Amino acid sequence: MRVLSGVQPSGKLHLGNYLGAIKQHIELQHQYAGDAFYFIANYHSLTTINDAQQLRQLTLDVALDYLALGLDPEKATFFRQTDIPEVTELTWILATVTGKGLLERAHSYKDKIAKGIAPSMGLMCYPLLMASDILIYKSNIVPVGKDQVQHIEMTQDMAGYFNNTYNCEVLVRPEAKLNEAQIVPGIDGQKMSKSYGNSIDIFDTPKKSRKRIMSIQTDSTPVEDPKDPDSCNVFAILKLLATPEETAEWADRYRAGGMGYGDVKKRVAELFEETLGPARERREKLAGDLDAVEDILVDGAKKARNIAKEVMAEVRDACGLVIARELHG
């Protein structure tokens, strides 16, 4: 069983990204060791980022972030989307068997236009490229957030359109695996998000992270009074980082009264540091050896590309596209 997911390079990671998505990716590499594929979706980013220097930097940042957070290149195949040019070839072929209406129904396309992103053909064809990313490795399981599920359903449809059109079984129907993490609240209690300015970033300095945690909004119940853990933003984050036993102890302390929010914030800051401090150190080390990072991405791309080439050969064969083998290495 092959598991695959893509990550768009889109800026600084926060605790919500880690607990909501990245942690699951890293855990799955153990369960699917040898057959877990993760890639940096930099072709997709061209639909929103048009600054070359920024795109190069963001691409490198994702690589450093994932490796620092525990992606193990011995277990998972990690690469850049652009190192697999077959992906864009398959995108075209899928476009020829896919009705325009399917793409017009994409929620993500409509949401992005509503946010003011230019309605380019690239943005419209985003789901074709994503389907190609998945189908070119005959991926079985695709771990994603809820917002991406429609794209996986479209991928299933596209695999079917191709197989039906050419009366073959070349493309494999993938299944989405929903990240089961709850919504991580930001320092104001709303969903943590880059665009709300309420995030606790993963790779800030320890001092800055601590300051962010100490600024989580709380109510004004006096220290001596009992408090409700379930309506407290600090407790909501503590719960995601502490063991169930420790969480239960803090809940008792809330209800008993005599505990100030400052105490629980300090503990959250400690837990944050215990969970993510080592990743910060690993990231600094990796940033000092970019050649090693490049080697990991190149090794990953070689492995991924071997599969992509084989599948593309089957696809071309199924639809009668002839190429000169000696020109394609």
Question: Which amino acid does the sequence have at 235?
Answer: F
Minimum Å distance from CB 23 to ligand ADP?
Answer: 10
Task: Using CB positions, name the residue nearest to ligand TRP.
Answer: 6
Chain residues 102-131 in contact with ligand TRP, contact rule CB under 6 A = 130
CB 94 within 8 A of CB 308: no
Phi, psi of 208 (to 5 degrees): -70, -40
Phi, psi of 79 (to 5 degrees): -155, 170
Chain residues 139-168 in contact with ligand ADP, contact rule CB under 6 A = 145
Candidate list 12, 191, 266, 303, residue with the active-site label? 191
Q: Give the count of beta carbons closer than 10 Å to the beta carbon of residue 81.
A: 25
Whether 207 is catalytic is: no
CB 271 within 8 A of CB 238: yes
Q: Give the count of beta carbons closer than 10 Å to the beta carbon of residue 187.
A: 20
Whether 208 is catalytic is: no
Measured CA to CA, the distance from residue 279 to residue 296 in angstroms comes to 18
Chain residues 72-91 in contact with ligand TRP, contact rule CB under 6 A = none
Q: Which is nearer to ligand TRP, 5 or 209 (CB)?
A: 5
- Residue 183 contacts which entry, ligand ADP, ligand TRP, none (Cβ below 5-8 A, type-dependent): ligand ADP
Whether 191 is catalytic is: yes
Can residue 191 be called a binding residue for ligand ADP (CB under 6 A)? yes
Measured CA to CA in angstroms, residue 139 lies from 4, 44, 120, 142 at distances of: 6, 19, 28, 7
Can residue 41 be called a binding residue for ligand TRP (CB under 6 A)? yes
> For the window 2-31, what string marks contact with ligand TRP as x by the rule CB under 6 A?
--xxx-x-----------------------
Measured CA to CA in angstroms, residue 87 lies from 134, 270, 305, 322 at distances of: 9, 44, 9, 17
> For the window 147-176, what string marks contact with ligand TRP as x by the rule CB under 6 A?
-x----------------------------
How many chain residues bind ligand ADP (CB under 6 A)? 15
Measured CA to CA in angstroms, residue 115 lies from 45, 125, 199 at distances of: 16, 18, 20
> For the window 90-129, what string marks contact with ligand ADP as x by the rule CB under 6 A?
----------------------------------------
- Residue 91 contacts which entry, ligand TRP, ligand ADP, none (Cβ below 5-8 A, type-dependent): none
Q: Which residues are catalytic?
A: 112, 191, 194
